[in-house]
Structure 1
């Protein structure tokens, strides 16, 4: 926290997003940083989750960072009551699916051309086809854009991608271990996701939302905070138990709180706790970056970043055209979703490394890509502000 505060203050002074400061702080503190290998000689060969330095056990740190993702998505969910989400449901499913699978297909082909074997190419393509929910939401929040109309579409697409990511992880494990994709497991994930979302908007709004209002009626803020956090973590746990991501559960919990009369108070109470754990999340992502090996795969990383950003942008634009999205909203959402890769990308590659399906160098490679794309994202979001007026003038 001390290093994070100092570094983020420096980045604030030079008018850069705080998220970049968090990532840089993680790079300074992490066990994979060359700084510590120079000062403290490593004992043995560190694996991908351990090393030397101040933050020596990333598996423990990742527990806190996961809490950060849960709280971040919960607080953001409070901004989006059911009526807002309902308006973009079909559009998000269509645009998100088209953009993701177009990106996956092209990156798989490009990775094989760049010399990766078929299994490495498949896992890296899956990892780079999914945008980082945590990075995008944090940057939009920092830039004061979280309540914009285009943000509703972006969040909808991110939820769709998170569901597809869960399916991809299960499918990739099956391909690596058995050689085939289990259609049954894919269908189960889709049915469970639909069931949980439908249950939230039917039973959840009738049972949980009134209970939150009853607790709020006591006018005791400490009890209200415990109650809404209970809903948040309870829903995240439920999502995890049924095989979905905790981010989906936390977001849906936020939507339930958004339907209550005390949504603004709940958001104010939960936000400081969220800010602390979100900082830990992004510092831990920065700590995963193995800068010392950067020279070994810098050209491959640059090529994959360029292809991933270009295809994600193009795929979302094509999806928006197919589903007749407004031009300005389509361009803004495509710019926002194009760059960042993060939590699910790291999870997919780590899954492949853990089961011995892919080369171990993919883990530091995805770390580099995650950091670089997080740096690029704020500039991509700002670029949309300059590009949209040009297209609007042409349209006139």
Structure 2
């Protein structure tokens, strides 16, 4: 029964905190993230990490990205692929240099510093997606560029991680095999989205059972996510691709209308809270300066790198700032990489908590930064729509 009480706490406090955030002019997601820190081990200790929380959280982030895929304008995404590529590359080069430089400045060896650089490259747009949805900007040119850049970023970071593990002897990874798997993943996922998904939906939708359409959509979502993970790509990319595939069918609106209540009533709030549960302030007193420096470097380098990529491909200064802001959050992607680094010896145990706090801080600042950068500017709005 303890788990049931945990759900009562999560659902009650995320809704209250989300409402308070909106009342003070911030996206609701910011309040929900803060709730995770307050209720978790870092402050009150009312909620602890556990297998069930982690699994519900994983479903939450998959559904969040699946809904983002459903709502994505594919034509807009195709139109902005050059910008997405430039944003992803800019959002890797500067953070890598910044992370490496900061680690060296604090006396870490080049091997550990290289991993810090890689950690700074990670991007998770699940929080940005929720913020963009709240602001009704998910289908804007900036929104689709952020989503496209996140897909490219994920692939590049995984390849870089494999290269690092091979070079530093932290893992037995064949680079050719890894890149081959990524190419195969995208070929198969595009083919499945184009040819298989519409047939699956048409086959399962008429079944004389309750909610056949939404069940069929969830089968596609989870199957794509599982396939992505098995091919070394983040599951959220698979879920996003599944959403795009179903958005091209006649079932799009029915799936969207019925899935959002399921996702936002239970699973997505658990995901937001689970991020805060990773925070712990034990033993960080001696590393406060280190945490402050790496957090600032992580935010600034991603903001400038992603923003510069957008600016070079024709976006206005304000739009570039918005895109850079959307790429700042490291989220669950960086947490996964940090855990992998800890297991393989590329990240020292002494710095793990500091890294987790940095990741959480980048996630917390993303919603307000996006809100600020998307504040209406009449002149630029007119230019964008000309």
Matches within 5 A, 1:355-374: 355-374=344-363
Q: Summarize the Cα distance change of 1:213–1:33 in structure 2 as closer, same or farther, 3 Å threshold.
A: same
- Residue 255 of structure 1 corresponds to which residue in structure 2? 244
- Residue 99 of structure 1 corresponds to which residue in structure 2? 91
| 1:166 to 2:161 alignment | no
Residue 325 of structure 1 deviates from its aligned partner by 4.0
- Residue 55 of structure 1 corresponds to which residue in structure 2? 48
Residue 56 of structure 1 deviates from its aligned partner by 4.9
Partners of 2:182 and 2:106 in 1: CA distance? 33
User: Would the aligned equivalents of 2:319 and 2:373 in 1 still touch at CA under 8 Å?
Assistant: no
- Residue 206 of structure 1 corresponds to which residue in structure 2? 195
Match of 2:10 among 4, 10, 19: 4
| 1:74 to 2:83 alignment | no
* Secondary structure of 1:288 counterpart: coil
| 1:297 to 2:307 alignment | no
| 1:280 to 2:270 alignment | yes
User: Would the aligned equivalents of 2:102 and 2:293 in 1 still touch at CA under 8 Å?
Assistant: no
Match of 1:13 among 20, 31, 54: 20
Residue 165 of structure 1 deviates from its aligned partner by 2.7
* Secondary structure of 1:78 counterpart: helix
Q: Per-residue CA shift, 1:224-283, capped at 9, x if unaligned?
A: 111010011111111122222111111111011100112011011111222222211221
Number of residue pairs the alignment of both structures matches = 373
Q: Summarize the Cα distance change of 1:167–1:61 in structure 2 as closer, same or farther, 3 Å threshold.
A: farther
* Secondary structure of 1:361 counterpart: helix
User: Would the aligned equivalents of 1:213 and 1:260 in 2 still touch at CA under 8 Å?
Assistant: no
Partners of 1:64 and 1:173 in 2: CA distance? 31
| 1:312 to 2:302 alignment | yes
| 1:225 to 2:195 alignment | no
- Residue 127 of structure 1 corresponds to which residue in structure 2? 119
Match of 1:333 among 304, 323, 330: 323
User: Would the aligned equivalents of 2:220 and 2:242 in 1 still touch at CA under 8 Å?
Assistant: yes
Match of 1:33 among 19, 30, 42: 42
- Residue 224 of structure 2 corresponds to which residue in structure 1? 235
Q: Which runs of 5+ in 1 are unaligned?
A: 37-52
Match of 1:112 among 104, 121, 135: 104
Partners of 2:379 and 2:111 in 1: CA distance? 42
| 1:187 to 2:179 alignment | yes
* Secondary structure of 2:329 counterpart: coil
Q: Summarize the Cα distance change of 1:341–1:389 in structure 2 as closer, same or farther, 3 Å threshold.
A: farther
Q: Summarize the Cα distance change of 1:392–1:19 in structure 2 as closer, same or farther, 3 Å threshold.
A: closer
Q: Summarize the Cα distance change of 1:181–1:249 in structure 2 as closer, same or farther, 3 Å threshold.
A: closer
Q: Per-residue CA shift, 1:310-342, capped at 9, x if unaligned?
A: 1112212322344344555333212322x3221
Partners of 1:193 and 1:331 in 2: CA distance? 32
Partners of 2:350 and 2:260 in 1: CA distance? 37
Q: Per-residue CA shift, 1:272-296, capped at 9, x if unaligned?
A: 2222222112211111101233423
Partners of 1:212 and 1:252 in 2: CA distance? 15
- Residue 39 of structure 1 corresponds to which residue in structure 2? none
Partners of 1:329 and 1:219 in 2: CA distance? 48
Partners of 1:329 and 1:13 in 2: CA distance? 27
User: Would the aligned equivalents of 1:136 and 1:340 in 2 still touch at CA under 8 Å?
Assistant: yes
CA RMSD between the two structures: 2.9
User: Would the aligned equivalents of 1:92 and 1:156 in 2 still touch at CA under 8 Å?
Assistant: yes
